[in-house]
Chain A
Amino acid sequence: MIDVRNIHKSFGELEVLKGVSCNIAPREVLCVIGPSGSGKSTLLRCVNQLEKVNSGHIYIDGTDVTDPKINIDKVRQQVGMVFQHFNLFPHKTALNNITLAPMRILGLNKIEAHERAMNLLGKVGLLDKADVFPNKLSGGQKQRVAIARALAMQPEVMLFDEPTSALDPEMVGEVLEVMRNLAHEGMTMMVVTHEMGFAREVGHRVLFMDEGIIVEEGTPDQIFDNPQNARTQSFLSKVLRA
């Protein structure tokens, strides 16, 4: 479904991705873990071209998204994204955050978009917040609205960029719960996370990244119980001890 082939990405002098290749099969949940600055968020952002790669190719359903000639907006409609800082539209209610893109892009009328949004709000447990503006929502609620907003485009794959990192600890659970349900429904997901418990329980496969490369890759059991690489071992010993 997604095929990343040997991508390099630099910000000025700093090379953040030094030849990364990976792939995601349909209905697969891929978790990307690693220390801060390892390039995992950049990798995720390259997939939907919020960052342009310096070299390499990324194929989504066979389309090379690094090709400047393709219509990236069309591709992005199939690729939902959830941000660390939610990025809800502050001037729109929860409901209108969700209906905006389906109405403007897919051409849904108000009633259709409204119905779709209410379904999704029900799914993330926020039916009662439909008419509330983002500044009146808690972090966990914001992130759940953001997930609903991305789902409203009915994407084939969802990208999660540290979705719980900006949350108070007591709100992490409600967001992970929504993601867990999504995974069980068979959504293809690429999740950059620091939640090792989630990666282990929900992930089908785990990538460990450090200093711009994929150091180790395997099933959650392989990575968490029997890491082969010394860097993986040292990282996990630090985060799992905490």
Chain B
Amino acid sequence: MDGFLPVLLGITPMQSLIDNHGFQVLTSNFSSFLWGALVTLEITALAVAFGMILGLFFGFLKYLNHIKITYALATIYIDFFRGTPLFVQILLLHFGILPLLGDYTTFTSAVVACTLNSGAYIAEIVRAGIQAIDRGQMEAGRSLGMNYRQTMWYIVLPQAYKVVIPPLINEFIAMLKDTSLVSIIGVSELTLRGKLIYASSYEPAWVWGAVAIMYFVMTKLLALFGDYMERRLATE
């Protein structure tokens, strides 16, 4: 297969790629990687979805800072989960707290930890988003005779929603990457699969390179979605 023509046609490089051990490791474990990526997406989606609920709730409590008790509650929650490493939170919840509550799986622990963490960050995004809306908007709504709830719902929140989209997408991307930490408790997401495949193949560059590319593709798609949302909101 030597010679200039086969190289030019890409046959020789292709053949040497196919013959490469690292490449063979990737192809034979391809479905395992894909399943890992799927689990990563699953944890991220659940964490972000539940995190949004938590974030909206606590973000509001933090925004309503004249109600001292709920404000303090929200502050403690947000400060704790933003002020400690997610890695430690995963270990604490999985080994320290969830065992006290009964039946659970590593997957549950992973989702719970990521949700609580994400919720804290989203709460701050929500609070900042509402606060970013000019006070005059609330005043205008109230001066027309709408009550607080109506003004919040029809006037402030629709505007805050636009402010909140870009940082929310950022948070989703960060969360997607951070789910790699749950590999420590044995959830077989993308990073843990990489670790196992690497351990049996000793092809670090190929395996971790592939893992990195798969994370990158997922975050890039999310970022593109974010760009699309931003453009759509800007034209509205």
A binding-site residues for B, Cβ under 8 Å: 48, 50, 73-74, 76-81, 83, 85, 87-91, 100-101, 104-105, 146, 149-150, 153
Contact = CB atoms under 8 A, between A and B. Distances in A.
Contacts of B146: 73, 101, 104-105
Nearest to A79: B143
B155 A81 contact: no
Given A76-B143, A91-B158, A91-B236, A85 B136 contact: yes
30 contacts: A50-B139, A50-B142, A50-B143, A73-B142, A73-B145, A73-B146, A74-B145, A76-B143, A76-B145, A77-B144, A78-B145, A80-B144, A81-B140, A81-B143, A83-B140, A87-B134, A87-B136, A87-B137, A87-B139, A87-B140, A89-B140, A89-B141, A91-B158, A91-B159, A101-B145, A101-B146, A104-B146, A104-B150, A105-B144, A149-B144
Contact of A104 (B140, B154, B158): B154
Contacts of A73: 142, 145-147
| Top 8 closest pairs, chain A to chain B, by CB | A77-B145, A87-B140, A81-B143, A87-B136, A101-B144, A76-B145, A73-B147, A73-B145
A56 B140 CA distance: 25
Given A48-B143, A101-B144, 15 more contacts: A50-B142, A73-B146, A73-B147, A76-B144, A77-B145, A81-B140, A83-B136, A88-B140, A91-B158, A91-B236, A101-B145, A101-B146, A105-B144, A105-B150, A149-B144
Contacts, number: 62
Give the interface residue-count category, chain B: 10 to 19
A89 B155 contact: yes
A76 B139 CA distance: 11
Interface of B: 134, 136-137, 139-147, 150, 154-155, 158-159, 162, 236
B153 to A, nearest CB: 9
Most buried by B among A74, A78, A104: A104
Contacts of B155: 89, 100
A160 B151 CA distance: 21
Contacts of B139: 50, 83, 87
B164 to A, nearest CB: 14
Contacts of A89: 137, 140-141, 155, 159
Contacts of B147: 73
A104 B159 CA distance: 18
A101 B236 CA distance: 21
A87 B147 CA distance: 17
Contacts of A87: 134, 136-137, 139-140
B107 to A, nearest CB: 40
A77 B140 CA distance: 12
Nearest to B148: A73
